[in-house]
Each structure stands twice: as C-alpha cells, then as structure tokens.
Amino acid sequence: MTVVVLNGERRELPAEATVAMAVDLAGAPEGGRGVAVALDGEVVPHGEWATTEVRDGQQLEVLHAVQGGA
C-alpha cells in the first residue's frame, strides 16, 4: 500500500501505484482531458502518468480549469 497526500487529503493507493491511478482516485474525468498533475510540486506530463510511480508520503495536486478571473 502507498499512502499519499492527494489534493490535500491522505489517500491510500495500491503498492507500486502510479500517477495515473492517483488521477483516477482524485475523481478526474476518464482520460484526464483538461487535467494536470503536480507531484511534489513538479508537473508530470500526461504521457508519463502511467509510468510514473508514486511513493509513500508524496504530495499530488490534480487540477482542472474552473470559473475564475477578474
């Protein structure tokens, strides 16, 4: 099991988890269109989600566009 901080909450992922699994767990739409991920503050390009492993204690931010801006 891998315990990460996903969008500010402690969440559990299977052992040998990947960024792609975290994106699903965060509730991102299928395929992750319009979604971006920062792993410990560094952007992980969409093409690397499936091959980038996440380790215990790492912090993930899974973001998308919302209404905003003056």
Partner 1 sequence: MFEIAGRPLESRLILGTGGFRNLQVMAEAARESGAELATVAMRRVDPSARGSIIEVLEGAGVEVLPNTAGCFTAREAVTTARLAREALETDWVKLEVIGDDRTLLPDPAELLVAAEELVADGFTVLPYTNDDPILARRLEDAGCAAVMPLGSPIGSGMGINNPYNLRLIVEQARVPVILDAGVGTASDAALAMEAGCDAVLLASAISRAADPPAMARAMRKAVEAGYEAREAGRIPRRLYARASSPEQGVAELPSSP
Instruction: Give me the least distance between CB of 40 and partner 1, in Å please.
Output: 11
Q: How far is the CB of 14 from partner 1 (least distance, A)?
A: 20
At residue 56, what is the residue type?
D
Query: What Rg do the C-alpha atoms of the chain give, in angstroms?
Result: 12
Read off the amino acid at residue 13.
Answer: L
Tell me whether residue 15 or residue 67 sits nearer to partner 1 (CB atom).
Answer: 67
Task: State the minimum distance, in angstroms, from the CB of residue 69 to partner 1.
Answer: 3
Q: Which residues are near partner 1 by CB under 8 A?
A: 7-8, 26-29, 34-38, 41-43, 45-46, 61-70
* Cβ neighbours for 40, distance < 8 A, ≥ 6 positions apart: 58, 59
